[in-house]
Amino acid sequence: MKKTLHLFLGLALGALLSFTFLRAPVDRATVQQAARLIGLEMTVAEIDSMLPGLEEQLSSYASIRGQDIPNELAPALQFNPLPRGLVPDTRQEALYFDIPGAVSRPKDLNGLAFYSVTQLSALVKSGQVSSMELTELFLERLEKHDPTLHCVITLTRERALAQARQMDEELAQGRYRGPLHGIPFGAKDLLATRDYKTTWGAMPYKDQMLNYDAAVIEKLEAAGAVLVAKLTLGALAWGDVWYGGQTRNPWNPEQGSSGSSAGSASAVSAGLVPFAIGTETWGSIVSPSTVCGVTGLRPTFGRVSRHGAMALSWSMDKIGPICRTAEDCAIVFEAIRGQDERDPTTVAAAFNYNQKTDARKLRVGYLKGDFGGDYPFKEQDSLALAKLRKLGIAPIAIELPEVPDIGFVLSAEAAAAFDELTRSGKDDLLVRQIQNAWPNVFRQARFIPAVEYIQANRLRTRLIEETHRALREFDVFLAPSWAGANLLRTNLTGHPCVSLPNGFIDGLPTSITFCGQLFGEADVLKLAALYQANTDFHRKHPEGL
Residue 17's SS3 state is coil
Helix segments in 173-273, DSSP class H: 215-222, 262-269
What's residue 37's pLDDT?
Answer: 87
Residues 6 or more apart in contact with residue 83 via CB below 8 angstroms: 464, 465, 467, 468
With b for 16 or more beta-carbon neighbours within 10 A and e for fewer, the 443-482 pattern comes to: eebbbbbeebbeebbeebeebbbebbeebeebbbbbbbbb
- The pLDDT tens digits for 330-368 are 999 999 999 999 999 999 999 999 999 999 999 999 999
Cβ burial, residue 502 (10 Å; 0-12/13-18/19+): buried
Global pTM? 0.94
Question: Annotated catalytic, 284?
Answer: yes
188 - beta bridge partners? 231
Question: Annotated catalytic, 318?
Answer: no
- Per annotation, catalytic residue among 266, 284, 287, 313: 284
197 - beta bridge partners? 209
Of 433, 431, 450, which Cα lies nearest the Cα of 441?
433
| Cα atoms in the Cβ-side hemisphere of radius 13 Å centred on 330 | 25
Residues of the chain short of pLDDT 50, as ranges, are 1-19, 21
Distance CA 29, CA 47 (A): 9
What's residue 25's pLDDT?
Answer: 82
Residue 427's SS3 state is helix
CATH 3.90.1300.10 residue spans of the chain:
109-403+459-539
- Per annotation, catalytic residue among 260, 264, 481, 499: 260
What's residue 13's pLDDT?
Answer: 42
With b for 16 or more beta-carbon neighbours within 10 A and e for fewer, the 85-96 pattern comes to: eeeeeeeeeebe
What's residue 208's pLDDT?
Answer: 98
354 - beta bridge partners? 96
What's residue 23's pLDDT?
Answer: 55
- Per annotation, catalytic residue among 116, 130, 188, 511: 188
What's residue 16's pLDDT?
Answer: 42
Question: Annotated catalytic, 368?
Answer: no
Residues 6 or more apart in contact with residue 394 via CB below 8 angstroms: 364
Provide CATH code, domain 109-403+459-539.
3.90.1300.10
Contact (CB, 8 A) for 296 and 499 = yes
Helix segments in 66-214, DSSP class H: 117-125, 131-149, 157-172
Phi, then psi, of 153 in degrees rounded to 5: -100, -45
514 - beta bridge partners? 478, 498
What's residue 262's pLDDT?
Answer: 98
What's residue 135's pLDDT?
Answer: 98
Helix segments in 223-325, DSSP class H: 262-269, 286-292
What's residue 47's pLDDT?
Answer: 92
Of 199, 186, 193, which Cα lies nearest the Cα of 146?
186
**In terms of DSSP bridges, do strands 497-505 and 295-298 run parallel, antiparallel, or are they unpaired?**
antiparallel
